[in-house]
Structure 1
Amino acid sequence: MRWLSALTDNMSPLRLCVPGEKLCSVEDCSTGTGVYQRHGYIYSSLAGYVLRKNEGEELPVISVVRETEAQLLPDVGAIVTCKVTGINSRFAKVHILYVGSTPLKDRFRGTIRKEDVRESEKDKVDIYKSFRPGDIVLAKVISLGDVQSTYLLTTAENELGVVVAHSEAGAQMIPISWREMQCPQTNAKEFRKVARVQPEYLEA
């Protein structure tokens, strides 16, 4: 199941459990949601995924959440889908929408720096010719940036870059090369860092 593979690929593995399953001793964790205590142990009260979080307490908090509640976090090496929200001469700002094929419930911000747009001729990269606000982009997480949790992303690989873009006329453009897209209405061409999209990313 792609949702489960995305979990195991992009974050520490989550363990499935069933109602009544013994999870750990009360000496090891404190209780969160979806669990209960009995005779010195913590048990699951529902079927779902086991989460352990360190929240500044002496013991980590253990919870069980259903699939729809489990939150993926963009991790280093993860492939993410994001939307460009702004550009300047040095970088593009994005909102991260998906990790793999799984939508995120929380909003995460990212930055694609000029030097991370492509592998070759980095000094010749023009952000305005690579991305525009509103573009949907496939990128890879390369690091967690500043204290405001802005993720640093790259589109340097051939499979990464713009996957959906609209022309100035409002039409969805068609890729015609690795650096250009064309409006089907006006035939006008616009520069982009175009992704060579793999089949697993073609789902709606």
Structure 2
Amino acid sequence: MPGEELSVIEEFTTGEGTYEFNGTVYSSVVGKAFYDMINRKVNSIGFKKPGILSLKKSKYVLGIVVGIKEDSAIINIQSLEDKSLVTTLSGYIHISQISSKYLNTISDAMRVGDIIRAKPINYIIPVPLTIKQRDLGVISAKCSICGSPLQRQDEEHLKCPDCGNIETRKLAFTVKKGGN
């Protein structure tokens, strides 16, 4: 349990899931203590979360862009493939994982409020995501001027049917059923 005493610092140093306070090593997560006798480290290995186990089996995730930084976008993962999550997982997309083309800013590829389809790169929290593949990217977006749903114009442009605004995104391409 978090706060449980695992050893004194003279016996074992801190490892994953542990911290040291006044010469004593404590657990920082709910899990099982593991004593590395060779490296003289104590680790507290956290129990796996069901969302992370499901994430490892999923091919893609659906999420909402909730923040844009200089070199990354923050994503709230809402579902794994077509299965909704009980609680959202936190994820992010680094600018290098958006496209093989050069981007001036992340806003050239996605904006806050966009719904995206992405692929997990790793299974740690926050989950690193990629949208480099052709079938990954923005699947739904709203106009940044009037808030109306945007419609696909071509491979990377969306047009607002109400105000005529044209915006650029890294769009996901889907294979339509029925031969189109």
Provide TM-score, normalisation by structure 1: 0.58
Moved over 6 A (4+): none
The alignment-based identity, stated in percent, is 25
The structural deviation recorded for 1:88 is 1.7
2:141 paired with 1:160: no
Q: How many residues align?
A: 131
Provide the rounded CA distance (Å) in 2 between the counterparts of 1:144 and 1:125: 28
| Structure 2 runs not aligned, ≥5 long | 1-29, 34-49
Residues 88-103 of structure 1 mapped to structure 2, 5 A cutoff:
88-103=69-84
The structural deviation recorded for 1:138 is 0.4
Provide the rounded CA distance (Å) in 1 between the counterparts of 2:72 and 2:140: 19
Matched AA of 2:65: V
Matched AA of 1:174: Q
Select the residue among 156, 163, 166 that pairs with 1:186.
163
| Structure 1 runs not aligned, ≥5 long | 1-53, 58-69
The structural deviation recorded for 1:144 is 2.9
CA offsets, 1:9-56, max 9 Å, x none? xxxxxxxxxxxxxxxxxxxxxxxxxxxxxxxxxxxxxxxxxxxxx953
Select the residue among 83, 107, 114 that pairs with 2:95.
114
The structural deviation recorded for 1:170 is 1.3
Provide the rounded CA distance (Å) in 2 between the counterparts of 1:84 and 1:76: 23
Matched AA of 1:153: L
In the alignment, what sits opposite 2:108?
129
Residues 15-164 of structure 1 mapped to structure 2, 5 A cutoff:
55-56=31-32, 73-75=54-56, 78-118=59-99, 120-121=100-101, 123-124=102-103, 126-145=105-124, 149-164=125-140
Provide TM-score, normalisation by structure 2: 0.65
The structural deviation recorded for 1:178 is 2.3
- Secondary structure of 1:143's match? coil
In the alignment, what sits opposite 1:6?
none
